[in-house]
Amino acid sequence: MASPTISTFPVEYLDAIDEVLAGATYAGRYNVQGAEFEGARQVSVPDIDFGNSPNPTNYNRFASEAAVTVGRTTYTLDHDVEKVFYVDAVDATDEPAAKMTNIIAEYQRVILAPYIDTDFFAKAYTRAQTKATTQLSANNIKTAIRAARTQFTNAGLAGGDLYMSAAALGFLEDATDRQWSNDTIISDSIGSYDGFTVFQVPDAILGADFIAISGGQRTVRYVTKRAATYTFAPGQHTQGDGYLSQLRWIFGTIVYDNKKPGVYANKHTQ
């Protein structure tokens, strides 16, 4: 059975990306700067198969040659989406905030970035090796995190990113007996815990109590095949005398089968 191996994509395929989405997203930590693309929404990655007997054998004057096959597996990115904006020429003249650059930047910040992150965490949760359903509390939050750490250690991974809901992070803070203070500030916030970098994620985006990812881009990859923006001034298009922008994004999140041990999630359902 082939074991997909994540490798560095050829640099020459960077030319296939028109523009990398600028903006702060959680998915951005796993963004692949280049990818080997096929047609439409597809991306190709190499597979290495060591056959049915991959373990080392006793020395026999090197008479134990085994087959190794290098192939490729094609994955399909989930999303090919667009958005069009039109600003009337009069509005653009009367109101500085109506400038197309402001509109696009604000759209990416308040709409597109959460949209991307929601999809990213949903895919990570779906592909996680473990989907625990523990009802978390201050009494068991550390045990739940240790379970994730143990899964990663058994897979040869160490540390990673820990994305937590407000409630789950609150439990961890309550379970940790320490705080720092001075005359004006008292803090019990946690930025890292047991080798994990901790992030608080809005509940509507995370969709779970917590999701832990170890291995970085070797485990999860967020791939942008196309992020293009076309802007037309009045007179450069036929849809009125205003400013027109057309935006398109082709992107998706990939977790390969043999990398699923690098993702652990907990989501208690009522």
Q: Could you state, in order of their start, the residue ranges of all structural domains in the chain? A: 78-266
Residues found in the chain: 270
Question: Does residue 16 register a pLDDT over 50?
Answer: no
Instruction: Give the model confidence (pLDDT) of 221-259 as tens digits.
Output: 898 888 888 888 888 888 888 889 999 998 999 998 888
How far is 116 from 114, CA to CA, in rounded Å?
A: 5
Res 15: pLDDT: 40
CB 228 within 8 A of CB 247: yes
> 89-139, pLDDT tens digit by residue?
887 776 665 688 888 888 888 889 999 999 999 999 999 999 999 999 999
- pLDDT score at 213: 98
pTM as predicted: 0.79
Q: What is the pLDDT of residue 101?
A: 82
Instruction: Using the predicted structure, report yes or no on whether residue 30 has a pLDDT greater than 50.
Output: yes
Residue partners of 254: CB distance under 8 A and separation at least 6: 43, 45, 75, 77, 220, 221, 223
How far is it, in rounded angstroms, from Cα 21 to Cα 228? Answer: 9
Distances (CA, A) of 10 to 14, 15, 16, 103: 8, 11, 11, 35
What is the C-alpha separation between 219 and 261, in angstroms, rounded?
8
Rounded Cα distance between 112 and 104, Å, is 10
Q: What is the mean pLDDT of the chain?
A: 83
Name the 3-class secondary structure at 78. coil
The winner for highest mean pLDDT among 2-11, 23-32, 63-72, 95-104 is: 23-32
Contact by Cβ (8 Å): 125, 265: yes
At 46 the pLDDT is 67
Indicate if the pLDDT at residue 82 is higher than 70: yes
Alpha helices (H) along the chain: 89-94, 100-107, 113-127, 141-154, 166-175, 203-206
State residue 270's pLDDT score: 64
